[in-house]
Amino acid sequence: MKYLPNYYRWIYTYARPFVKGTVMELGCGRGLFIAQYIRQVKRVVAVDHNEILLKQLNHVFAGHNLQTVRLDLSRPWGALEGLKVDSIIALDLLEHFQDDQILLNKIRTKINPGGFIFIKVPAQSRLYSEMDRASGHYRRYDPDDLYQLAEYEGLEIISIRYMNPLGALVYRSRNRKSTNLSKTFLRPQLRFINLCLYILPILDRLPKSKGLSLIGVFRAP
């Protein structure tokens, strides 16, 4: 994914109004999305289980107000005890948990009143395939799935929308492969795709189109 920086810029166009104050990103990885917003917020709490990646983040974002936290999100969240933030970001995270409601409940406890939760998940349950299983996904989501998760936690639903309809078509053509989607492309192909990402966001505006991902924005009462 490091060869697709425009993909993260695309996601940020949807996240920008809801990323403010103290922001916590769960499963932050290499910080490819953090790079989109770290200069616009007060503080970033970057959470991941990979110690090497967290050390790299501290180096890359030296001089910024960044706190890294090593945490296996499937275990108790003692390392986040007492922490409350204004925005929480979870990109392609919920699908990796067998009980996604428990995870969202934990997320809910870390948000300040009136704060925003920005979630991205793989879309269209009927597309679930060997590629998802190889990527460690328990499921793909339809809009009603996110509605139910959010309503159970008492979250206000700001929006739930599809993203990347062309990606859904590509996924259908490759979903018999037992690997994650990005590994089905060669590096030059990824660079070409990155250039195309200047244009592809326009397709999100097509009426009734269903994309490869769902983006949900929720607010704590």
Nearest to 37 by CA among 111, 28, 212: 28
CA distances, 39 to each of 16, 42, 43, 119, 147 (Å): 12, 8, 9, 21, 31
Q: What is the largest CA-CA distance in the chain?
A: 46
What is the domain count for the chain? 1
Would you state the pLDDT for residue 186? Answer: 65
Pairing state of beta strands 213-219 and 156-163? Answer: antiparallel
**Domain hosting residue 61, numbered range:** 5-219
For the chain, how far is it from start to end, CA to CA, in angstroms? 34
- What is the domain-level CATH number for residue 148? 3.40.50.150
pLDDT of amino acid 149: 97
* Least confident piece of the model among 52-61, 143-152, 162-171, 198-207: 198-207
Mean pLDDT of 38-61: 96
pLDDT digits (tens, 9 = 90+) for 159-201: 999 999 988 888 887 655 555 555 566 666 666 666 667 677 8
